[in-house]
Amino acid sequence: MCGIVAYVGPRDAAPILLEGMQRLEYRGYDSAGVVVSNRGLKIRKVKGRVADLAKVVPARFKGTVGLGHTRWATHGVPSDVNAHPHLSADERIAVVHNGIIENAGELRAKLEADGVEFASETDTEVLAHLIAKAADENDTLEEAVRKTLKSVVGTYGIAVIDAERPGEVVVARNGSPIVLGIGEKEMFAASDVAAMVRYTRQVVHLEDGELAVLKADGFHTFASDARETAKEPLTVDWDAGHYDTGGYEHYLLKEISEQPETITRTMSGRLDERFHVAHLGGLNMDARETRSFRRVKIIGCGSAYYSGQIGAQLIEELARIPSDAEPASEFRYRNPVVDPDTLYVAISQSGETYDTLAAVQELKRKGGRVIGIVNAVGSAIAREVDGGIYLHAGPEVSVASTKAFTSTSLAFALLALHLGRVRDLSPADGRRIVEGLRRLPGQIEEILAQGDKIAELAQKYAKHPSMMFVGRVRGYPVAREGAQKLKEISYVHAEAYPASELKHGPLALIGPDMPTVAIVPDDELLDKNLTTLGEIRARGGQVLMVGHREPGAKLADDVIVVPKNEIELDPILLTIPLQLLAYYAAVALGRDVDKPRNLAKSVTVE
């Protein structure tokens, strides 16, 4: 969940490391540190932001090899001492680490029995001392790291330098991403390509259990048993400009505003106007295999899970295949029955979400057919699955997901159309959905044009300590995602319920201090949803309705009218005003919109 940057080459490392760390700030962190090697190790680290770290890095902080790190606390409180990098007792070895060492307590006890004194509360410091001990016994740093990792249980992405071998960096991965960047007579490594795109777009992704040695003139990779591995570089599509705010006050507003373009990219080249079908060659399935599935199971975490609920509804409606979504973190631990007739779909914007990756690996181990819906090309989940759909939404920097959520929901519409047209969805219905998909970008622009009105409503409702979100069937996952957005960036408590369930308990909460955001599409459940609004109003509750028309009989205090599309696709549009509502509420309350407290963009620990 934290950020790693490493450099080796002819240039001064510190400015490169600090810039890379700034580009990783969106991942969430509480402290930062940097180390360079030049006749010994020079280190600076602070509790706080990268900008705070830059202030304490002296001008004469020289070295052509170094490591940078942004930490999200797991072991030990955020502090200068607990910040990474961590040094061995003799200050020879420096380590940065993402992940959790599960047997750190046992390893720490053994080291302390041998007289080692620890400076921090972290699990990472264990690695520094173990590698230093192994380095005294081995000729190479890579062998010392490899030997140390044999005794480690847990997840890690690590980078290591040795003051006695100043021309190299050793990195390793197990469950936490490490990407190599290939420059001109220089090498980079990071936990995210964002840290390196200014300098190179040629990257290599390490697999779990793989290590690499980086030197200025190249790299080599090898497995934990020392066997050499062959890697082919990829060219990433994103460049440094994708990680700028583009004149917007926040990344989140920029990413919300980009959605007409991002969903157009997601659809690009995938719609067939002649046969009214979606072409998804990346699934790696022919029509016969596609028809063989009798159920679809979708797994994801957070907003990915909620988009999976929208996806399950789309697949059931368009393809008439029983479908459901489940949090990946629950799925992987309940010993699920893996059915050969089930198509499993894993969702992750980053492609590195640990719980989802672990669930995919368990499914593969049991013979399940798994496809992925992923934004990051070459990521771990993308490499692990049998096929899938890339979103092509571009980098999503703000911690709260918006454009990736919308593009994922759209990808499910494409998948549902694809599955439906090889089964029983008629050409007429296929044409209807294709035409609806074509209308989406323009309709999203219409919603974005209501930004000023939604900002005023956000100021009105943000003063309340808690809000209820309700919806039925297609509207329920929209309500869940709306509540998630509000609480994660504005810190206003919000919960989502099926509108039909209000009277079974939650209605007791409704009153003047508990406004309700009601998702009311113009579908077959319109009258039932309007009845729910009447129940809320009768109990003194305020109602902000998001729907396709003004309700009668003063059933809502405020209304956000959304353009109408096909009923199956309406949830994609109904989500957009809720993103804006959450954004403007967070701004009104003075929150750190792009980096909400306690959260990280890519969750690579359990």
Q: Is the pLDDT of residue 1 over 60?
A: no
Give the pLDDT score at 121. 93
Give the pLDDT score at 519. 96
Put the strands of the sheet holding 295-300 in their side by side order: 323-327, 295-300, 342-348, 369-374, 387-390
Q: How far is CA 551 from CA 216, 450, 453, in A?
A: 66, 19, 18
Q: Is the pLDDT of residue 416 over 90?
A: yes
Give the pLDDT score at 602. 66
The active-site residue out of 42, 47, 297, 601 is 601
b/e 453-463 (16+ beta carbons within 10 angstroms → b):
ebbebbebbbe
Helices (H) and strands (E) in the chain, counts: 18, 27
**Which of the residue ranges 170-174, 216-220, 344-348, 379-383 would you say has the lowest mean pLDDT?**
379-383
Give the pLDDT score at 605. 60
b/e 528-558 (16+ beta carbons within 10 angstroms → b):
ebbebbeebbeeebbbbbbbbeebeeebbbb
Do the two domains 245-425 and 443-600 of this chain adopt the same fold? yes
| CA-based nearest residue to 92, from 129, 54, 65, 119 | 129
Query: How far is the C-alpha of 413 from the C-alpha of 433, rounded, in Å?
Result: 9
Residue with tokens 């899970």: 305
H or E stretch at 272: strand 271-272
pLDDT tens-digit readout, 560-604: 999 999 999 999 999 999 999 999 999 999 999 988 888 866 675
**Which numeric CATH code is attached to 443-600?**
3.40.50.10490
Give the pLDDT score at 561. 96
Residue 414's DSSP bridge partners are: none
Instruction: Annotate 67-136 with three-state secondary structure.
Output: EEEEECCCCCCCCCCCCCCEECCCCCEEEEEECCECCHHHHHHHHHHCCCCCCCCCCHHHHHHHHHHHHC
Instruction: Annotate 33-84 with three-state secondary structure.
Output: EEEEECCCEEEEEEECCHHHHHHHCCCCCCCCEEEEEEECCCCCCCCCCCCC
- DSSP letter at 207 equals P
Q: What is the domain partition of the chain in residue ranges?
A: 3-235, 245-425, 443-600
- Three-state SS for 560? strand
**Which numeric CATH code is attached to 3-235?**
3.60.20.10
User: Chain-wide mean pLDDT for the chain?
Assistant: 93
Give the pLDDT score at 479. 97
2 noted as active-site residue: yes
pLDDT tens-digit readout, 516-559: 999 999 999 999 999 999 999 989 999 999 999 988 778 999 99
309: confidence class by pLDDT, cuts 50, 70, 90? very high
Q: Which long-range contacts (CB under 8 A, 24 or more apart) does 521-527 make?
A: 521/474, 521/475, 521/547, 521/548, 521/567, 521/570, 521/571, 521/574, 522/547, 522/548, 522/549, 522/564, 523/474, 523/567, 523/570, 524/567, 525/472, 525/473, 525/475
Query: How far is the C-alpha of 553 from the C-alpha of 535, rounded, in Å?
Result: 13
55 noted as active-site residue: no
Structural tokens at position 142: 């890579």
H or E stretch at 387: strand 387-390
Put the strands of the sheet holding 218-223 in their side by side order: 86-87, 93-98, 156-162, 165-174, 210-215, 218-223, 228-229
CB atoms within 10 A of CB 232: 5
Q: Is the pLDDT of residue 239 over 80?
A: no
Residue with tokens 């300098």: 199
* Rg from Cα positions in the chain: 25
Share of the chain above pLDDT 70, in %: 98
Specify the CATH class of 245-425 in words: alpha beta
Residue with tokens 């060492």: 101
pLDDT tens-digit readout, 223-232: 999 999 999 8
The active-site residue out of 2, 254, 301, 595 is 2
Give the mean pLDDT of 18-23. 92
